[in-house]
Structure 1
Protein backbone atom coordinates (compact mmCIF):
# COMPACT_ATOMS: atom_id res chain seq x y z
CA UNK A 1 0.00 0.00 0.00
CA UNK A 2 1.23 3.49 -0.83
CA UNK A 3 1.59 5.79 2.18
CA UNK A 4 1.17 9.47 1.39
CA UNK A 5 4.32 11.56 1.35
CA UNK A 6 4.84 14.82 3.22
CA UNK A 7 7.78 17.14 2.60
CA UNK A 8 8.17 18.72 6.05
CA UNK A 9 7.67 15.80 8.41
CA UNK A 10 8.94 15.03 11.86
CA UNK A 11 9.37 11.26 11.90
CA UNK A 12 8.35 9.34 15.03
CA UNK A 13 9.03 5.62 14.90
CA UNK A 14 8.15 2.76 17.20
CA UNK A 15 10.92 0.16 17.48
CA UNK A 16 9.82 -3.45 18.15
CA UNK A 17 7.52 -4.81 15.47
CA UNK A 18 7.97 -1.62 13.44
CA UNK A 19 11.67 -1.14 12.70
CA UNK A 20 12.76 -4.62 13.83
CA UNK A 21 11.13 -8.02 14.10
CA UNK A 22 10.34 -9.47 17.51
CA UNK A 23 12.70 -11.93 19.19
CA UNK A 24 12.18 -14.41 22.03
CA UNK A 25 14.64 -12.40 24.12
CA UNK A 26 13.81 -8.66 23.94
CA UNK A 27 17.53 -7.83 23.95
CA UNK A 28 18.16 -10.28 21.13
CA UNK A 29 16.47 -8.39 18.29
CA UNK A 30 18.50 -7.89 15.13
CA UNK A 31 19.27 -4.35 13.97
CA UNK A 32 20.83 -4.30 10.51
CA UNK A 33 23.53 -1.90 9.40
CA UNK A 34 21.24 -0.94 6.50
CA UNK A 35 18.55 0.21 8.95
CA UNK A 36 21.09 2.21 10.94
CA UNK A 37 22.28 3.87 7.72
CA UNK A 38 18.76 4.84 6.62
CA UNK A 39 17.93 6.27 10.06
CA UNK A 40 21.21 8.17 10.16
CA UNK A 41 20.66 9.72 6.73
CA UNK A 42 17.00 10.50 7.47
CA UNK A 43 18.03 12.22 10.70
CA UNK A 44 20.66 14.25 8.84
CA UNK A 45 18.43 15.35 5.97
CA UNK A 46 15.63 16.43 8.36
CA UNK A 47 18.14 18.27 10.57
CA UNK A 48 17.41 15.98 13.51
CA UNK A 49 13.61 15.58 13.22
CA UNK A 50 13.62 11.80 13.80
CA UNK A 51 12.78 10.15 17.13
CA UNK A 52 12.20 6.63 18.37
CA UNK A 53 9.08 6.25 20.54
CA UNK A 54 9.24 2.98 22.46
CA UNK A 55 8.09 1.07 25.48
CA UNK A 56 11.71 0.04 25.99
CA UNK A 57 13.98 1.99 28.28
CA UNK A 58 16.31 4.45 26.61
CA UNK A 59 19.22 2.36 27.89
CA UNK A 60 17.91 -0.66 25.99
CA UNK A 61 17.17 1.36 22.85
CA UNK A 62 20.62 2.95 22.88
CA UNK A 63 22.38 -0.38 23.28
CA UNK A 64 20.48 -1.87 20.34
CA UNK A 65 20.29 0.99 17.84
CA UNK A 66 23.73 2.48 18.63
CA UNK A 67 22.85 5.85 17.11
CA UNK A 68 22.60 9.33 18.70
CA UNK A 69 18.92 9.70 17.79
CA UNK A 70 16.27 11.45 19.83
CA UNK A 71 14.31 8.88 21.85
CA UNK A 72 11.37 8.51 24.19
CA UNK A 73 11.51 5.40 26.36
CA UNK A 74 9.13 3.68 28.77
CA UNK A 75 6.14 4.99 26.77
CA UNK A 76 7.27 8.59 27.31
CA UNK A 77 8.36 8.46 30.95
CA UNK A 78 11.93 9.23 29.82
CA UNK A 79 13.36 11.05 26.82
CA UNK A 80 16.42 12.63 25.28
CA UNK A 81 17.00 14.95 22.32
CA UNK A 82 19.79 13.78 20.04
CA UNK A 83 22.70 12.56 22.10
CA UNK A 84 21.80 14.83 25.02
CA UNK A 85 21.09 13.91 28.61
CA UNK A 86 18.22 11.60 29.50
CA UNK A 87 15.35 13.33 31.29
CA UNK A 88 12.41 11.66 32.98
CA UNK A 89 9.25 12.12 34.96
CA UNK A 90 8.79 10.23 38.22
CA UNK A 91 5.43 8.48 38.44
CA UNK A 92 6.34 5.79 40.94
CA UNK A 93 4.68 5.41 44.33
CA UNK A 94 4.79 2.96 47.24
CA UNK A 95 1.66 1.32 45.82
CA UNK A 96 3.33 0.84 42.44
CA UNK A 97 6.43 -0.60 44.09
CA UNK A 98 4.22 -3.19 45.81
CA UNK A 99 2.59 -4.08 42.49
CA UNK A 100 5.98 -4.35 40.83
CA UNK A 101 7.29 -6.65 43.59
CA UNK A 102 4.30 -8.96 43.11
CA UNK A 103 4.78 -9.08 39.34
CA UNK A 104 8.50 -9.76 39.62
CA UNK A 105 7.80 -12.65 41.99
CA UNK A 106 5.18 -14.07 39.60
CA UNK A 107 7.64 -13.86 36.71
CA UNK A 108 10.35 -15.64 38.67
CA UNK A 109 8.04 -18.47 39.75
CA UNK A 110 6.75 -19.09 36.21
CA UNK A 111 9.97 -18.45 34.28
CA UNK A 112 8.78 -15.41 32.36
CA UNK A 113 11.18 -12.89 30.86
CA UNK A 114 10.81 -9.66 32.80
CA UNK A 115 11.94 -6.07 32.19
CA UNK A 116 12.08 -3.87 35.25
CA UNK A 117 12.27 -0.42 33.68
CA UNK A 118 11.90 1.49 36.90
CA UNK A 119 9.07 3.53 35.36
CA UNK A 120 7.26 0.31 34.43
CA UNK A 121 7.52 -3.47 34.57
CA UNK A 122 6.94 -5.75 31.57
CA UNK A 123 6.38 -9.52 31.61
CA UNK A 124 7.04 -11.30 28.31
CA UNK A 125 5.43 -14.66 27.50
CA UNK A 126 6.60 -15.09 23.88
CA UNK A 127 8.63 -18.18 24.84
CA UNK A 128 5.75 -19.50 26.99
CA UNK A 129 2.54 -18.58 25.16
CA UNK A 130 0.61 -21.12 27.22
CA UNK A 131 0.99 -18.80 30.23
CA UNK A 132 -0.94 -15.92 28.66
CA UNK A 133 -4.24 -16.80 30.37
CA UNK A 134 -2.56 -17.42 33.73
CA UNK A 135 -0.75 -14.08 33.55
CA UNK A 136 -3.92 -12.21 32.63
CA UNK A 137 -5.81 -13.93 35.44
CA UNK A 138 -3.12 -12.84 37.89
CA UNK A 139 -3.14 -9.25 36.63
CA UNK A 140 -6.92 -8.87 36.41
CA UNK A 141 -7.99 -11.27 39.15
CA UNK A 142 -5.42 -11.54 41.93
CA UNK A 143 -4.03 -8.01 41.63
CA UNK A 144 -7.21 -6.45 40.12
CA UNK A 145 -5.07 -3.97 38.22
CA UNK A 146 -7.75 -3.36 35.62
CA UNK A 147 -9.90 -1.77 38.32
CA UNK A 148 -7.24 0.64 39.58
CA UNK A 149 -7.18 4.28 38.55
CA UNK A 150 -3.49 4.87 39.29
CA UNK A 151 -1.94 2.34 36.89
CA UNK A 152 -2.50 1.22 33.32
CA UNK A 153 -2.19 -2.32 31.99
CA UNK A 154 -0.63 -2.27 28.53
CA UNK A 155 -1.51 -5.44 26.59
CA UNK A 156 1.12 -5.67 23.89
CA UNK A 157 2.36 -8.36 21.53
CA UNK A 158 3.18 -11.30 23.85
CA UNK A 159 3.81 -8.89 26.72
CA UNK A 160 1.90 -7.35 29.59
CA UNK A 161 3.27 -4.11 30.93
CA UNK A 162 2.15 -2.22 34.00
CA UNK A 163 2.93 1.46 34.41
CA UNK A 164 1.69 4.31 36.59
CA UNK A 165 -0.72 6.54 34.69
CA UNK A 166 0.47 9.90 33.43
CA UNK A 167 2.41 9.22 30.24
CA UNK A 168 1.80 7.54 26.90
CA UNK A 169 3.19 7.71 23.37
CA UNK A 170 0.92 10.61 22.44
CA UNK A 171 2.36 12.60 25.35
CA UNK A 172 5.87 11.64 24.18
CA UNK A 173 5.25 12.91 20.64
CA UNK A 174 3.65 16.10 21.95
CA UNK A 175 6.72 16.82 24.07
CA UNK A 176 9.05 16.52 21.08
CA UNK A 177 6.75 18.59 18.85
CA UNK A 178 7.07 21.46 21.28
CA UNK A 179 10.84 21.76 20.82
CA UNK A 180 13.39 22.12 18.02
CA UNK A 181 14.02 20.52 15.59
CA UNK A 182 10.52 19.00 15.58
CA UNK A 183 8.41 22.13 16.15
CA UNK A 184 6.62 23.45 13.07
CA UNK A 185 6.80 20.17 11.17
CA UNK A 186 4.04 17.68 10.28
CA UNK A 187 4.06 14.74 12.75
CA UNK A 188 4.44 11.36 11.06
CA UNK A 189 4.14 8.28 13.29
CA UNK A 190 4.60 4.58 12.49
CA UNK A 191 3.79 1.87 15.07
CA UNK A 192 2.40 -1.63 15.30
CA UNK A 193 0.84 -2.25 18.70
CA UNK A 194 -1.97 -1.19 21.02
CA UNK A 195 0.40 1.18 22.85
CA UNK A 196 0.84 3.12 19.59
CA UNK A 197 -2.84 4.05 19.39
CA UNK A 198 -2.29 7.03 21.73
CA UNK A 199 0.37 8.27 19.32
CA UNK A 200 -1.86 7.72 16.29
CA UNK A 201 -4.72 9.63 17.91
CA UNK A 202 -2.50 12.58 18.81
CA UNK A 203 -1.02 12.76 15.31
CA UNK A 204 -4.43 12.42 13.63
CA UNK A 205 -5.86 15.29 15.67
CA UNK A 206 -3.08 17.58 14.45
CA UNK A 207 -3.24 16.84 10.73
CA UNK A 208 -0.31 14.43 10.70
CA UNK A 209 0.13 10.99 9.17
CA UNK A 210 -0.35 7.79 11.19
CA UNK A 211 0.67 4.37 9.92
CA UNK A 212 -0.21 1.02 11.49
CA UNK A 213 2.16 -1.89 10.83
CA UNK A 214 0.38 -5.23 10.50
CA UNK A 215 -3.23 -6.30 11.01
CA UNK A 216 -5.76 -5.41 13.69
CA UNK A 217 -8.15 -2.60 14.49
CA UNK A 218 -6.54 0.82 14.64
CA UNK A 219 -7.27 4.52 14.38
CA UNK A 220 -4.22 4.87 12.10
CA UNK A 221 -4.93 6.30 8.67
CA UNK A 222 -2.68 4.01 6.63
CA UNK A 223 -1.01 0.58 6.72
CA UNK A 224 2.27 -1.18 6.10
CA UNK A 225 2.57 -4.93 6.44
CA UNK A 226 5.78 -5.54 8.38
CA UNK A 227 9.22 -4.08 9.29
CA UNK A 228 10.47 -4.92 5.80
CA UNK A 229 7.86 -2.62 4.27
CA UNK A 230 8.65 0.04 6.87
CA UNK A 231 12.32 -0.06 5.87
CA UNK A 232 11.43 0.22 2.18
CA UNK A 233 9.09 3.12 2.93
CA UNK A 234 11.72 5.03 4.96
CA UNK A 235 14.26 4.50 2.21
CA UNK A 236 11.72 5.86 -0.28
CA UNK A 237 11.08 8.90 1.92
CA UNK A 238 14.81 9.51 2.07
CA UNK A 239 15.08 9.37 -1.73
CA UNK A 240 12.23 11.88 -2.12
CA UNK A 241 13.79 14.26 0.39
CA UNK A 242 17.10 14.07 -1.47
CA UNK A 243 15.34 14.88 -4.75
CA UNK A 244 13.59 17.83 -3.11
CA UNK A 245 16.91 19.11 -1.76
CA UNK A 246 18.54 18.73 -5.18
CA UNK A 247 15.73 20.71 -6.86
CA UNK A 248 15.97 23.42 -4.22
CA UNK A 249 19.73 23.71 -4.68
CA UNK A 250 19.28 23.81 -8.46
CA UNK A 251 16.73 26.65 -8.25
CA UNK A 252 18.89 28.57 -5.79
CA UNK A 253 21.90 28.20 -8.07
CA UNK A 254 19.99 29.32 -11.16
CA UNK A 255 18.83 32.46 -9.37
CA UNK A 256 22.36 33.65 -8.73
Structure 2
Protein backbone atom coordinates (compact mmCIF):
# COMPACT_ATOMS: atom_id res chain seq x y z
CA UNK A 1 0.00 0.00 0.00
CA UNK A 2 1.27 3.48 -0.83
CA UNK A 3 2.38 5.66 2.05
CA UNK A 4 1.18 9.11 3.04
CA UNK A 5 4.07 11.09 4.52
CA UNK A 6 3.74 13.74 7.25
CA UNK A 7 6.83 15.72 8.26
CA UNK A 8 7.48 17.97 11.22
CA UNK A 9 9.62 21.04 10.48
CA UNK A 10 11.83 22.24 13.39
CA UNK A 11 14.26 19.55 14.49
CA UNK A 12 13.17 17.37 11.58
CA UNK A 13 13.58 19.22 8.28
CA UNK A 14 15.75 21.94 9.85
CA UNK A 15 18.11 22.10 12.80
CA UNK A 16 16.83 23.80 15.95
CA UNK A 17 18.60 27.11 16.50
CA UNK A 18 18.66 29.67 19.29
CA UNK A 19 16.41 32.17 17.54
CA UNK A 20 13.32 30.56 15.95
CA UNK A 21 13.29 33.00 13.02
CA UNK A 22 16.86 32.05 12.07
CA UNK A 23 16.26 28.46 10.93
CA UNK A 24 17.60 27.55 7.50
CA UNK A 25 16.62 24.80 5.09
CA UNK A 26 19.65 23.07 3.59
CA UNK A 27 20.09 23.37 -0.18
CA UNK A 28 18.42 20.57 -2.10
CA UNK A 29 15.78 19.75 0.53
CA UNK A 30 12.88 21.52 -1.25
CA UNK A 31 13.78 19.77 -4.50
CA UNK A 32 13.92 16.40 -2.73
CA UNK A 33 10.52 17.01 -1.16
CA UNK A 34 9.08 18.01 -4.54
CA UNK A 35 10.26 14.77 -6.13
CA UNK A 36 9.07 12.67 -3.20
CA UNK A 37 5.66 14.33 -3.15
CA UNK A 38 5.22 13.52 -6.83
CA UNK A 39 6.21 9.89 -6.21
CA UNK A 40 3.60 9.71 -3.43
CA UNK A 41 0.88 11.16 -5.68
CA UNK A 42 0.82 14.33 -3.62
CA UNK A 43 0.36 12.59 -0.28
CA UNK A 44 3.04 14.58 1.54
CA UNK A 45 2.29 17.26 4.12
CA UNK A 46 4.33 19.36 6.53
CA UNK A 47 2.77 19.37 10.02
CA UNK A 48 4.29 22.03 12.24
CA UNK A 49 3.81 24.48 15.04
CA UNK A 50 4.91 27.20 12.63
CA UNK A 51 2.49 29.31 10.57
CA UNK A 52 1.98 28.04 7.04
CA UNK A 53 3.26 31.32 5.60
CA UNK A 54 6.55 30.80 7.45
CA UNK A 55 6.86 27.24 6.11
CA UNK A 56 6.22 28.44 2.56
CA UNK A 57 8.92 31.09 2.86
CA UNK A 58 11.49 28.58 4.08
CA UNK A 59 10.62 25.73 1.70
CA UNK A 60 10.08 27.71 -1.51
CA UNK A 61 9.54 26.85 -4.29
CA UNK A 62 7.94 23.76 -2.69
CA UNK A 63 4.41 24.56 -1.43
CA UNK A 64 3.04 21.32 0.03
CA UNK A 65 -0.16 20.52 1.84
CA UNK A 66 0.47 21.79 5.33
CA UNK A 67 -0.88 22.09 8.84
CA UNK A 68 0.38 25.09 10.78
CA UNK A 69 0.11 26.05 14.44
CA UNK A 70 -0.37 22.39 15.39
CA UNK A 71 -3.40 22.18 13.12
CA UNK A 72 -5.05 25.52 13.93
CA UNK A 73 -4.59 26.33 10.25
CA UNK A 74 -4.32 23.97 7.30
CA UNK A 75 -3.93 23.89 3.53
CA UNK A 76 -5.14 20.91 1.56
CA UNK A 77 -5.25 20.75 -2.26
CA UNK A 78 -4.46 24.46 -2.39
CA UNK A 79 -7.39 25.48 -0.17
CA UNK A 80 -6.23 27.43 2.88
CA UNK A 81 -8.12 27.47 6.17
CA UNK A 82 -6.18 30.23 7.96
CA UNK A 83 -5.68 31.25 11.54
CA UNK A 84 -7.91 34.22 12.43
CA UNK A 85 -6.34 36.19 15.31
CA UNK A 86 -9.45 38.34 15.73
CA UNK A 87 -11.26 35.23 16.96
CA UNK A 88 -8.89 35.09 19.97
CA UNK A 89 -9.28 38.45 21.77
CA UNK A 90 -8.38 37.08 25.20
CA UNK A 91 -5.21 35.51 23.87
CA UNK A 92 -4.29 38.74 22.07
CA UNK A 93 -4.62 40.70 25.32
CA UNK A 94 -2.60 38.05 27.12
CA UNK A 95 0.21 38.30 24.58
CA UNK A 96 0.45 42.02 25.30
CA UNK A 97 0.89 41.14 28.98
CA UNK A 98 3.61 38.63 28.17
CA UNK A 99 5.50 41.31 26.28
CA UNK A 100 5.23 43.71 29.21
CA UNK A 101 6.62 41.08 31.58
CA UNK A 102 9.24 39.44 29.40
CA UNK A 103 10.52 42.02 26.92
CA UNK A 104 12.87 43.40 29.62
CA UNK A 105 14.27 39.89 30.19
CA UNK A 106 17.30 39.37 27.98
CA UNK A 107 17.22 36.42 25.55
CA UNK A 108 13.68 35.23 26.36
CA UNK A 109 11.81 35.24 23.04
CA UNK A 110 8.06 35.64 22.55
CA UNK A 111 6.96 34.13 19.24
CA UNK A 112 3.53 35.56 18.41
CA UNK A 113 1.83 33.32 15.85
CA UNK A 114 -1.50 35.12 15.73
CA UNK A 115 -3.68 32.34 17.11
CA UNK A 116 -1.07 30.98 19.51
CA UNK A 117 2.00 32.22 21.33
CA UNK A 118 5.26 30.45 22.17
CA UNK A 119 7.78 31.56 24.79
CA UNK A 120 11.36 30.35 24.22
CA UNK A 121 14.08 30.35 26.88
CA UNK A 122 16.77 28.41 24.99
CA UNK A 123 19.17 31.35 25.24
CA UNK A 124 18.22 32.07 28.85
CA UNK A 125 17.85 28.73 30.66
CA UNK A 126 18.01 30.42 34.07
CA UNK A 127 14.71 32.14 33.21
CA UNK A 128 12.80 28.88 32.67
CA UNK A 129 10.84 29.20 35.91
CA UNK A 130 9.73 32.76 35.22
CA UNK A 131 8.83 32.09 31.59
CA UNK A 132 6.88 28.90 32.33
CA UNK A 133 5.12 30.54 35.26
CA UNK A 134 3.86 33.43 33.12
CA UNK A 135 2.69 31.08 30.38
CA UNK A 136 0.91 28.86 32.90
CA UNK A 137 -0.76 31.87 34.56
CA UNK A 138 -2.05 33.12 31.20
CA UNK A 139 -3.31 29.68 30.19
CA UNK A 140 -5.19 29.39 33.48
CA UNK A 141 -6.86 32.77 32.92
CA UNK A 142 -7.85 31.84 29.37
CA UNK A 143 -9.58 28.68 30.60
CA UNK A 144 -10.49 25.42 28.95
CA UNK A 145 -10.56 26.76 25.37
CA UNK A 146 -6.74 26.79 25.42
CA UNK A 147 -3.94 24.46 26.44
CA UNK A 148 -0.18 24.51 26.94
CA UNK A 149 2.12 22.55 24.63
CA UNK A 150 5.65 22.07 25.98
CA UNK A 151 8.63 21.45 23.72
CA UNK A 152 12.40 21.78 23.81
CA UNK A 153 12.90 24.86 26.03
CA UNK A 154 9.61 26.36 24.86
CA UNK A 155 6.04 26.55 26.12
CA UNK A 156 3.18 27.43 23.79
CA UNK A 157 -0.43 28.40 24.43
CA UNK A 158 -2.77 27.31 21.66
CA UNK A 159 -6.43 26.41 21.14
CA UNK A 160 -7.40 23.31 23.09
CA UNK A 161 -8.63 21.34 20.08
CA UNK A 162 -5.37 21.70 18.18
CA UNK A 163 -2.78 18.96 17.92
CA UNK A 164 -0.70 17.13 15.36
CA UNK A 165 -2.53 13.87 15.94
CA UNK A 166 -6.01 15.24 15.19
CA UNK A 167 -4.90 17.11 12.08
CA UNK A 168 -3.08 14.05 10.69
CA UNK A 169 -6.25 12.01 11.25
CA UNK A 170 -8.26 14.69 9.43
CA UNK A 171 -5.89 14.67 6.45
CA UNK A 172 -6.16 10.88 6.32
CA UNK A 173 -9.88 11.22 5.59
CA UNK A 174 -9.22 13.25 2.44
CA UNK A 175 -7.67 12.62 -0.97
CA UNK A 176 -4.86 11.93 -1.74
CA UNK A 177 -4.20 10.56 1.79
CA UNK A 178 -7.25 8.34 2.32
CA UNK A 179 -6.55 4.64 1.94
CA UNK A 180 -2.79 5.03 2.34
CA UNK A 181 -0.51 4.08 5.23
CA UNK A 182 0.42 7.17 7.27
CA UNK A 183 4.03 7.89 8.18
CA UNK A 184 4.86 10.71 10.58
CA UNK A 185 8.40 11.89 11.28
CA UNK A 186 9.15 14.30 14.14
CA UNK A 187 11.56 14.99 16.97
CA UNK A 188 9.83 16.46 20.03
CA UNK A 189 7.19 16.08 22.71
CA UNK A 190 4.82 17.93 20.39
CA UNK A 191 5.15 15.05 17.91
CA UNK A 192 4.37 12.15 20.25
CA UNK A 193 0.66 12.85 19.87
CA UNK A 194 1.09 12.48 16.12
CA UNK A 195 3.07 9.27 16.61
CA UNK A 196 0.25 7.82 18.70
CA UNK A 197 -2.26 8.69 15.99
CA UNK A 198 -0.36 7.06 13.13
CA UNK A 199 0.27 3.99 15.29
CA UNK A 200 -3.47 3.75 15.96
CA UNK A 201 -4.14 4.08 12.23
CA UNK A 202 -1.74 1.24 11.42
CA UNK A 203 0.99 3.54 10.21
CA UNK A 204 4.65 4.16 11.02
CA UNK A 205 6.23 6.73 13.33
CA UNK A 206 9.86 7.85 13.16
CA UNK A 207 11.60 9.84 15.89
CA UNK A 208 14.55 12.10 15.09
CA UNK A 209 17.16 12.14 17.84
CA UNK A 210 17.13 10.93 21.42
CA UNK A 211 14.29 10.74 23.93
CA UNK A 212 11.57 8.37 24.99
CA UNK A 213 9.09 7.73 22.23
CA UNK A 214 6.22 5.59 21.02
CA UNK A 215 7.74 5.72 17.52
CA UNK A 216 8.79 2.44 15.93
CA UNK A 217 11.87 3.81 14.17
CA UNK A 218 14.55 6.37 14.99
CA UNK A 219 17.01 8.41 12.94
CA UNK A 220 19.89 10.17 14.69
CA UNK A 221 19.74 13.63 13.13
CA UNK A 222 18.24 16.11 10.69
CA UNK A 223 21.05 15.26 8.27
CA UNK A 224 20.26 11.55 8.48
CA UNK A 225 16.64 12.26 7.64
CA UNK A 226 17.62 14.45 4.68
CA UNK A 227 19.70 11.59 3.33
CA UNK A 228 16.82 9.15 3.87
CA UNK A 229 14.31 11.42 2.13
CA UNK A 230 16.69 11.82 -0.81
CA UNK A 231 16.97 8.04 -1.05
CA UNK A 232 13.20 7.64 -0.97
CA UNK A 233 12.82 10.25 -3.71
CA UNK A 234 15.29 8.29 -5.85
CA UNK A 235 13.40 5.06 -5.17
CA UNK A 236 10.05 6.70 -5.80
CA UNK A 237 8.61 5.30 -2.57
CA UNK A 238 8.98 5.14 1.21
CA UNK A 239 11.13 2.21 2.34
CA UNK A 240 12.23 1.43 5.90
CA UNK A 241 15.01 -0.98 4.98
CA UNK A 242 18.09 0.30 6.79
CA UNK A 243 16.13 2.62 9.11
CA UNK A 244 16.98 1.64 12.74
CA UNK A 245 14.23 0.66 15.13
CA UNK A 246 13.77 2.92 18.17
Shorter-chain TM band: 0.7 to 0.9
C-alpha offsets along residues 44-88 of structure 1, whole Å, 9 cap, x if unaligned?
111211100000001111111111111100000001125x24213
Matches within 5 A, 1:26-175: 26-66=20-60, 67-82=62-77, 84-88=78-82, 92-111=87-106, 112-140=108-136, 142-143=137-138, 145=140, 148-175=143-170
The answer as to whether partners of 2:207 and 2:215 remain within 8 angstroms in 1 is yes
Structure 1 runs of 4+ with >6 Å offset? none
Structure 2 residue ranges without an equivalent (≥5) = 240-246
Distance 1:148 1:154 in 2: 14
Q: Does residue 4 of structure 2 align to residue 10 of structure 1?
A: yes
1:27–1:60 Cα contact (<8 Å) kept: no
Give the CA RMSD over aligned residues. 2.3
Residue 199 of structure 2 corresponds to: 204
Q: Between Structure 1 and Structure 2, which shows a larger proportion of helix residues?
A: 1
TM-score under structure 2 length normalisation = 0.87
Larger radius of gyration: 1
Listed as ranges, the matches of 1:241-252 within 5 Å are 241=236
2:20 is aligned with 1:21: no
State TM-score, norm by structure 1.
Answer: 0.84
Q: Distance in 1 between matches of 2:208 and 2:14?
A: 11
Task: Tell me how far 1:25 sits from its aligned partner.
Answer: 2.0
Structure 1: which 5+ runs fail to align?
A: 1-6, 245-256
